[in-house]
């Protein structure tokens, strides 16, 4: 594929980098043989085209709504230490361009996806707490720790983590006292061993990044075990081909935000998305903001299975086998317990993309570490500061960053053909956006969220029909 990306802003540079990392030849100006153009300068190209503006990192951050979510409740909104909103916008633009080249006329949402959950659920900035309230940044001896008590089981692990009594009702004063005299990295390591979601800041090169080839710089794309980065200059291409996005069946095994956002974007692009949940442990997001859940899952089908039975596991295996794209957000060990191994599935597939979303990546010594959007972003370096007070950036920002990059990877792999394992780590998505940007002022806005276009299906509403259609009943 040969594409042109005109403009110099960070979103467009990020889009160009993603397209190049996926194997496209990326030009700065279109020629007669280009397949499509991401156009911020008005080229007048007659073929597939996505028109956009050439914006700054500060403007993207403000327009996304994430600026308004960053900082103390009674303090000013804060800029991010990098280009997270521009990266989200760039990934969406790159995905939309691929869809246009393949014949779709769908317009994808913009960087406002970063703040839609907060807008629909009524969340606000509250540093050093996260917008969702489950995480707080605590000062350690040599940095900060983002401690995420998102589940009752996390609170129960706190005494074992710090080897001291911790009250369950309001643990934060005691936690602050116990953490203050200790180094951040060993505390984060102990938390990983216990399965407690904790991110250390400042982020440093570590054994996990080294094992994944992400030490020199961090890329959001790891495809078939290889880090994909943009290469300078145009690659030599084969003869021009017609690009089509074949009818696509997506089986979404993920939950919460990152994977469902990927599935939602694929739904907008015309894919048939089947959300698969456990009858005993459905997606926890069902019990949060109903409007946000409807937004991400409207227009999809719902299958509920009892994974504790042989029949349920057999149906799961059959759905995975039938899918063109699989989205999952489980640690490899958890899926192996269900008899589903990505590498085994892909080994005998003719064409399939497996999108794996984990906190720190499915390879390396931290492959089974627990993490969520807020603590993973802190571990990736996304922390803002207001007179010494640290602030999580946006709302669980690593989740939507991962979701938009996962959708790009899925579309690129589907267009390219063959079998692909797209390995996306929440921490690496955040770390890939951290860079020095010029200090610019921008007015914070509360981005207007999109509204659900139809309700999400009830749990298991399509189980019998889908399993019957695929011969799995």
Counting Cβ atoms within 10 Å, is residue 211 exposed (0-12), middle (13-18) or buried (19+)?
middle
* The predicted structure's pLDDT at residue 20: 95
| Structural domain contains residue 4 | no
Average pLDDT for 166-185: 94
Contacts of 253 by beta carbon, 8 Å cutoff, 6+ apart: 259, 276, 316, 326, 327, 328, 329, 330
* The predicted structure's pLDDT at residue 240: 66
Arithmetic mean of pLDDT over the chain: 93
| Structural domain contains residue 136 | no
| Structural domain contains residue 456 | yes
Which CATH number do you get for residue 365? 3.40.50.10540
Average pLDDT for 74-103: 96
* The predicted structure's pLDDT at residue 233: 59
| Structural domain contains residue 30 | no
Average pLDDT for 71-99: 96
List C-alpha distances in Å: 460 to 278, 291, 305, 338: 9, 19, 8, 19
* The predicted structure's pLDDT at residue 237: 56
* The predicted structure's pLDDT at residue 447: 80
| Structural domain contains residue 155 | no
| Structural domain contains residue 102 | no
When divided into structural domains, the chain yields a total of 1
Measured between alpha carbons, how far is 21 from 62 in angstroms, rounded to an integer? 28
| Structural domain contains residue 228 | yes
* 139-168 tens-digit pLDDT: 999 999 999 999 999 999 999 999 999 998
List C-alpha distances in Å: 80 to 77, 142, 333: 10, 21, 34
Range of 341's domain?
A: 56-82+208-232+244-469
pLDDT band, very low/low/confident/very high, at 397 (cuts 50, 70, 90)? very high
* The predicted structure's pLDDT at residue 234: 58
- 136-140, 207-211, 348-352, 459-463, range with the lowest pLDDT: 348-352
* 337-377 tens-digit pLDDT: 888 888 889 988 888 999 999 999 999 999 999 999 999 99
* 21-64 tens-digit pLDDT: 999 999 999 988 899 999 999 888 888 999 999 999 999 999 99
Question: Quick check: helix, strand or coil at residue 212?
Answer: coil
DSSP H helices in 225-382: 258-268, 290-297, 310-322, 332-337, 342-347, 373-379
| Structural domain contains residue 444 | yes
* 287-297 tens-digit pLDDT: 999 999 999 99
């Amino acid at each position: 594929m040969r594409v042109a990306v005109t403009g110099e802003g960070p979103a467009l540079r990020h889009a160009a980098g993603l397209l190049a990392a996926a194997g496209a030849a990326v030009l700065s100006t279109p020629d007669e043989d280009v397949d499509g153009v991401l156009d911020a300068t008005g080229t007048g190209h007659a073929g597939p085209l996505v028109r956009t503006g050439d914006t700054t990192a500060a403007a993207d951050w403000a327009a996304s709504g994430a600026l308004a979510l960053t900082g103390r409740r009674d303090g000013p909104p804060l800029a991010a230490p990098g280009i997270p909103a521009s990266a989200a916008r760039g990934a969406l633009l790159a995905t939309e361009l691929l869809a246009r080249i393949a014949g779709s006329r769908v317009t994808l949402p913009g960087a406002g996806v970063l703040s839609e959950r907060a807008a629909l659920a009524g969340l606000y900035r509250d540093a050093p707490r996260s917008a969702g309230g489950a995480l707080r940044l605590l000062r350690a001896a040599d940095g900060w720790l983002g401690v995420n008590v998102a589940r009752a089981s996390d609170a129960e692990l706190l005494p074992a983590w710090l080897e001291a009594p911790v009250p369950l009702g309001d643990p934060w004063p005691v936690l602050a006292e116990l953490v203050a005299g200790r180094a951040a990295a060993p505390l984060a390591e102990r938390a990983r061993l216990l399965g407690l979601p904790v991110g250390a800041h400042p982020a440093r090169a570590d054994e996990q990044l080294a094992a994944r080839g992400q030490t020199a710089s961090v890329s959001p794309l790891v495809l078939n075990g290889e880090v994909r980065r943009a290469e300078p200059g145009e690659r030599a291409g084969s003869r021009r081909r017609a690009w089509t996005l074949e009818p696509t069946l997506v089986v979404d095994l993920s939950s919460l935000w990152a994977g469902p956002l990927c599935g939602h974007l694929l739904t907008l692009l015309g894919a048939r998305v089947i959300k698969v949940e456990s009858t005993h442990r459905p997606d926890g997001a069902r019990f949060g903001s109903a409007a946000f859940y409807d937004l991400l899952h409207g227009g999809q089908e719902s299958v509920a299975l009892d994974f504790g039975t042989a029949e349920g596991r057999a149906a799961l295996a059959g759905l995975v086998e039938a899918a063109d794209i699989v989205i999952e957000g489980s640690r490899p060990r958890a899926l192996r317990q269900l008899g589903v191994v990505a590498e085994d599935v892909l080994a005998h597939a003719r064409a399939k993309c497996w999108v794996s979303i984990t906190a720190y990546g499915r390879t390396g010594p931290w492959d089974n570490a627990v993490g969520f959007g807020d603590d993973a972003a802190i571990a990736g370096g996304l922390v803002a500061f207001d007179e010494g007070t640290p602030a999580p950036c946006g709302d669980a920002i690593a989740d939507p960053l991962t979701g938009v990059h996962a959708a790009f990877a899925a579309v690129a792999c589907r267009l390219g053909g063959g079998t692909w394992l797209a390995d996306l780590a929440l921490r690496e998505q955040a770390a890939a956006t951290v860079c020095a940007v010029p200090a610019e002022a921008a007015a914070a806005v509360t981005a207007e969220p999109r509204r659900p276009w139809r309700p999400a299906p009830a749990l298991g509403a399509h189980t019998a029909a889908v399993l019957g259609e695929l011969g799995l009943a």
